[in-house]
Chain A
Amino acid sequence: MKRILARALFAFASASLLAGQAAAAPPQSGGTLRLVVSSAAGTFDPQVNYTVEYAEMFQMMYDGLVAFRKAGGTDGFDIVPDLSTNVPTPTDGGLTYVFHLRPGIKFSNGQTVTLNDVVSSFRRLFKVNSPNAGTWYNVIVGGDACLNKPDTCTLPGIVTDPATNSIIFHLVHPDSEFLDQMAFPFAVILPADTPNHDMGTTYIPGTGAYTVKTYDPNKGLSLIRNPYFKLWSADAQPTGYPDRVEYRFGITPESQVTAVENGQYDWMFDTIPTDRLNEIALKYTKQVHLNPLEAVWYAPFNINIPPFNNLDARLAVEYAVNLQDSVKLYGGNALATPTCQILPPGIPGYVLYCPFTKNPGAKWSAPDWPKAMAYMKASGMAGQHVTIVTQSPSPYAQIGVDLQSTLNKLGFKADVKPISPNIQFTYIQNTNNNVQMSVTTWYQDYPAPSDFLNVLYGCASFNKGSDNSINISGFCDKAVDAQMQAAMLTTLTDPAKADAMWTTIDHQMTDRALAVNLFNPRKADFVSARLHHFVFSGEYQFLPQLASVR
């Protein structure tokens, strides 16, 4: 119920933000959609790449057995049948899922999709060391063995039945997010003869509406219509309006804004530089689209080393930080909302909560310096040295400098270390680097509370000495872990009760001051005057194939 309510609020927020924009003209097919971004986003292998930049492309080039609906707003979170004719209901106490493969679908190289392709695609996830193979897909029986010995991975948990054209998945334990994970781009179906290594810059044939004409990570990506594509579900894989999609790499965000203003490109991927926001909002108001994101910008404390192994020191910072400062640095109230809690709006279980403010309650209002100074005194940590590690680009570094000011005012000796965005995210995760505090972000993979609470603060996400330790705070409480496991299981049988459980967990963990939660961002998309029918999916953000440029 709360899930429905949250979605309704999300939809209302999206509609409100878009109010005043011109009524969309009926979309027309044809033409070339021109997109621009500052750089390529790494490997072009859909089972390895973990970026929004390429997920937006992969969702129109590949299909899984199920998919997130290609629709705007929260409808984009719905799971719909794709290469499977059904979205299975789990049986056997949540341990078995039966998919029926849709017949007659072809890859862009002309080969027909077979049961063998499905099985080998899931084996390949382990063989190419897909980023979430060990956290998502190892729930399939045999998954752990595949993690240990990828080369000989057989995944006995996947059984095919050629008579009914079915694929049966057996799980080790019930998993309320299994279908979300099956709809994610990692789980796309690839030809069985695809090499079992990261394909780098080489295109792997897919079943989507578009296929690759050329791809050069130094220049760009050119997509054309897949000649073997025949529409089977507009919800899962729509035909798309543009005949071609040209994605240019290597243009700075400042130049991207100018190029879109001049109509040289139709959409820019990168965040609009803050000094251009006023200009485009004034002169190109109708070409700006604002949409909420299920994400949180936060500053995790390392709770295992001084000074933030001391709860009073953490609480001192929580009460002292002016969240509105970070909002201003991000671009103002239209683009961000201060938050004290871990779950963002739109995620089931989200109920407004803010203990670290002048008037504790639902919303943050102002810092409470008397309380902050009292906690600081009680902590005995005055004079302690703190380094805040941020990414160097704006506004990360600026937020770091603002936090540094606050920490110095409290009595710490703080400095800021802005480092390259290419290494910062892994650097702050590795406990060997002894990072005391950092500034980072988390954007949902799919709309589930566990994607924030369990992923960011679960014991399984804390790996000492590893670059892959997304639990940056280093928090591990077996009791809380058990609560989260119980909530995940309850989701399968009683979603409303599960949401209430997540609410409690969210508020309890917020109280433990594991991070300074700063704000929930919104996305501002800037499009050309000729682009119509801009569709923003809650899952994939901009859906290029649904844009009309004629």
Chain B
Amino acid sequence: MSANPSPGFWSVALRKLRRDRAAMTALLVLALIILLTALAPVYAADIARNDPFQSNLSGSIMLHGKSVEILAPADNPLHLGIEPIGPTWQLGPYMFGADDQGRDVAARLLYGGRNTLLISAAAAVICLVLAAITGIIAGYFGGWTDRIISGLLDALWAFPIFLLAISLSVVLIAHGLTIGPITLNADSLALPIMIIGIIYVPYVARPIRGQVISLRESEFILAARSIGAPAWRILALDILPNIITTLIVFAPLVIALNMLTEAALSFLSIGVQPPHASWGTIIQDGESLIYTRPLVAIAPGIAVVITVLALNIFGDGLRDALDPRAKLRVDQ
């Protein structure tokens, strides 16, 4: 006689996640976006066949057997204005047209996506790690430690989020950052990663702290304390595993938030710096072409919307899969 062992928490969660069609579709979309952006160098070299970081204002391409200027004078009686080449809608150079520097918009969109995703994900890791550390320490030790950490988090929280991000960006992007032997140039991607990583820490740390306060009084923690387990052991082996699901649920939501923040800062010229691209900088590039070449601004905007939507739907699925109350609902 053999009894089937009851499935573990993670395998149940994975099974539930797989059953969630919306979450799986969102995951597929995200995977596709990541794959496409990873192929940016291949696209630029073999399909667009130009350098998306080099201005090409005086270049031309062969289109339908004719040489076409990439930035040509507008056709009007006064010869006012210059128009970048429009979308060719063919897999090749300038499929989505050129921006105001004569660069291939599709190639920049892929490169920009890489940077946007990298910044959002890296900033999310920084945010979650800092939030976990501060939330756990504040919640577990309580007293003055809690008051000091919570006070700092409250002070950070008191700033309107974009005002804080803009203030940090203006200072750091203008002069770069030097901490001891480490120097970050003004155009380093590490700067927007750091800035965005820091500003959302209170939003994650506070719920973590609340959860740890509640865990601190639970029986298994009291038992561990009573047998003399050191604090670091309790934090690492008892508290952390219990908040890990919360961090995982937060991850896609924080990435989505970071993506919107990155786009906003780059649009304001205080995020990713030229010649690097991100979806935010491409939207900014497209602002001056909104009447003549709207796709330059719309394409990265759509990319942001799709990615953030996918992250949010996937985040919802993840929450449903990892939330014990959701488990109860399913079992009932």
Contact = CB atoms under 8 A, between A and B. Distances in A.
B80 A416 contact: no
B186 A415 contact: yes
A394 interface: yes
Contacts of A322: 57-58
Nearest to B288: A394
Interface string A280-317: 11100100101000000000000000000000000000
A481 interface: no
A151 interface: no
A405 to B, nearest CB: 4
Interface string B127-149: 00000000000000000000000
A329 B80 contact: no
B186 A417 contact: yes
A279 B291 CA distance: 9
Contacts of B79: 281, 332-334
B51 to A, nearest CB: 9
Given A278-B292, A418-B269, A334 B101 contact: no
Interface extent on B, as a size class? 35 or more
Interface stretch (B8-16, B17-25, B70-78, B200-208): B70-78
A544 to B, nearest CB: 23
Contacts of A278: 74-76, 80-81, 83, 292
Given A324-B58, A419-B174, A274 B101 contact: no
Given A397-B269, A417-B186, A290 B78 contact: yes
A329 B70 CA distance: 13
Nearest to B284: A397
Given A329-B57, A404-B274, A405-B275, A281 B82 contact: no
A281 B77 contact: yes
Contacts of B174: 417, 419
B55 A402 contact: yes
B242 interface: no
Contacts of A325: 55, 57-58
B246 interface: no
B101 A275 contact: no
A518 to B, nearest CB: 13
B57 A328 contact: yes
Contacts of A333: 73, 79
A149 interface: no
B74 A273 contact: no
Interface in B78-110: 78-83, 100-101
Contacts of A406: 55
Contacts of B57: 322, 324-325, 328-329, 402
Nearest to B290: A275
A409 B55 CA distance: 10
Given A275-B288, A275-B291, A276-B291, A334 B275 contact: no
Interface string A312-347: 000000000010110011011111000000000000
Nearest to B83: A278
A141 interface: no
A281 B289 contact: no
B100 A398 contact: yes
Contact of A329 (B100, B173, B187, B292): B100
A442 B153 CA distance: 48
B54 interface: yes
B78 A288 contact: yes
Contacts of A334: 78-80
B80 A275 contact: no
B245 interface: no
Interface residues of A, number: 45
A358 to B, nearest CB: 13
Interface string B51-72: 0011101100000000000010
A334 B74 CA distance: 11
Nearest to A279: B291
B264 to A, nearest CB: 15
A415 B273 contact: yes
A401 B80 contact: no
B185 interface: yes
A332 B54 contact: no
Contacts of B53: 405
A386 to B, nearest CB: 12
B288 A332 contact: no
Interface string A180-196: 00000000000000000
A132 interface: no
Interface string B180-193: 00000111000000
B308 to A, nearest CB: 26
Contacts of A418: 269
Interface string B141-176: 000000000000000000000000000000001100
A524 B80 contact: yes
A524 B79 CA distance: 12
A333 B173 CA distance: 35
Interface string A95-135: 00000000000000000000000000000000000000000
A374 interface: no
A328 B55 CA distance: 12
B273 A332 contact: no
Given A329-B100, A397-B269, A415-B273, A277 B80 contact: yes
A223 B216 CA distance: 72
A468 interface: no
B82 A332 contact: yes
A419 B79 CA distance: 31
A484 B133 CA distance: 68
B184 to A, nearest CB: 13
B292 A275 contact: yes
Given A332-B74, A394-B288, A401 B101 contact: yes
A275 B289 contact: yes
Interface string B254-284: 0000000000000001000111000000000
Interface string B31-68: 00000000000000000000001110110000000000
Contact of A285 (B73, B78, B101): B78
A285 to B, nearest CB: 5
Interface in B285-325: 287-293
A325 B292 CA distance: 19
Given A281-B80, A397-B269, A405-B55, A328 B71 contact: yes
B103 to A, nearest CB: 9
Contacts of A387: 186
A43 interface: no
Contacts of A395: 288
B301 to A, nearest CB: 17
A332 B269 contact: no
B77 A392 contact: no
A525 B212 CA distance: 65
13 contacts: A278-B81, A282-B77, A325-B58, A332-B80, A394-B100, A398-B288, A404-B275, A406-B55, A415-B185, A415-B187, A416-B274, A418-B269, A419-B174
Interface of B: 53-55, 57-58, 71, 73-83, 100-101, 173-174, 185-187, 269, 273-275, 287-293
Interface of A: 20, 254, 273-282, 285, 288, 290, 322, 324-325, 328-329, 331-335, 387, 392, 394-395, 397-398, 400-402, 404-406, 408-409, 415-419, 524
Given A276-B291, A279-B291, A524-B80, 12 more contacts: A274-B288, A275-B81, A275-B288, A281-B76, A282-B77, A285-B77, A325-B57, A333-B79, A335-B80, A401-B55, A404-B275, A417-B173
Shortest beta-carbon contacts, A-B, top 8: A277-B81, A278-B74, A281-B76, A405-B55, A325-B57, A281-B80, A277-B80, A275-B291
